[in-house]
Amino acid sequence: MTGMTPEEVGERLIHLLETDDPAQGAVAAGVSGGGPGHARAVVDVPVARWWHAATIAHDPGALGCDFFDWLSAVDEGDDGFDVIAHLWSTRRRHGVLLRARVPRVDAEVESLVDIYPGAAWHERETYEMFGIVFARHPDLRPLLLPPEFEGHPLRKEFILAARVAKPWPGAKEPGESEAGTAKRAPMRPPGVPDPNEWGPMKGKIPPPEAPARPARPARKTDGGTP
C-alpha cells in the first residue's frame, strides 16, 4: 500500500480527531518544508488531545504510524514550549509531525511510552533539557546530566556560563592577535552573560581599548613640498 501525501495525512488525522471530543480544543494541519519526499504533515493538537492523537496515528485502521522516530521540544519564550513527535508508517511510507503547545508554567504533557515504547529515552531527555513533565512516564529520571545538575540547559533563560567561568579554549576573538594588539569587545551569543556583570570577573574587567589610528601623512603644498 502506498502512502498518502502530507496534505492527505493531515486531513485524515483532523477528520479522525473530529469524531472524539472537539470540546477539548481545535486541531490544525499544515505541511513542513523540505520539498518532495521530505515534507511531512504537521498536525497541531491541544495538550489535552496529545495522547489520543498519537493513538489514532498509531492505529492500523487510521494512519498506521507504527514507528516512533523522535521527540523533542522548542522553547517559544512566553508562549511556552512546542512538544513535537515524528511518527512514521513503515508499511505505507508516510509520516506525521505531531505538535502540541505546552504552557511555560507547570509544563506537562502525557507520555507516549505506552503507545510507542521507543519514546521513553526521548521524553527523559526532553524532561532534562526543557523541564517538561511527561505524565505517566514509567521512569522519568536523569538521562544525560549528573544528579546534582540544576536547571534545564535548552531553556532560553538558562545561562551559558562556560565562557565566563573559564578561559575559552577555542580560536581568538575577532580583532585579537598573537601580537597582543587591542581588540574590540567580542559579540556574545544568546544566553552568555556579560562577564563584567556575572561570574568570577564581575566588576573587574576594564573596558576594551580603542585601536590606535595611524598618523595621517602630511599634505603637500602646490609647490610639491610638504
pLDDT digits (tens, 9 = 90+) for 101-142: 999 999 999 999 999 999 999 999 999 999 999 999 999 988
* Banded pLDDT at 18 (limits 50, 70, 90): confident
Determine the Cα–Cα distance for residues 205 and 209; give it in Å rounded to an integer.
12
User: Would you say residue 20 has pLDDT above 80?
Assistant: no
Q: What is the pLDDT of residue 9?
A: 97
Across 26-30, 62-66, 213-217, least confident range:
213-217
User: Would you say residue 78 has pLDDT above 90?
Assistant: yes
User: Would you say residue 184 has pLDDT above 70?
Assistant: no
Q: What is the pLDDT of residue 58?
A: 98
Determine the Cα–Cα distance for residues 119 and 139; give it in Å rounded to an integer.
12
Fold of 6-135: Beta Polymerase; domain 2 (3.30.460)
Length of the chain: 226
Assess contact for 45 and 27: CB atoms under 8 A.
yes
Q: What is the pLDDT of residue 126?
A: 97
Across 94-98, 163-167, 179-183, least confident range:
179-183
The distance between the two most distant Cα atoms of the chain, rounded to a whole number of Å, is 96
Parse the chain into domains and list their residue ranges: 6-135, 159-202
Assess contact for 104 and 81: CB atoms under 8 A.
yes
* Banded pLDDT at 210 (limits 50, 70, 90): low
How far CA 119 is from CA of 7, 127, 133, 162, in Å, comes to: 25, 12, 13, 31
Mean pLDDT value across the chain = 83
Average pLDDT over residues 54-60: 97
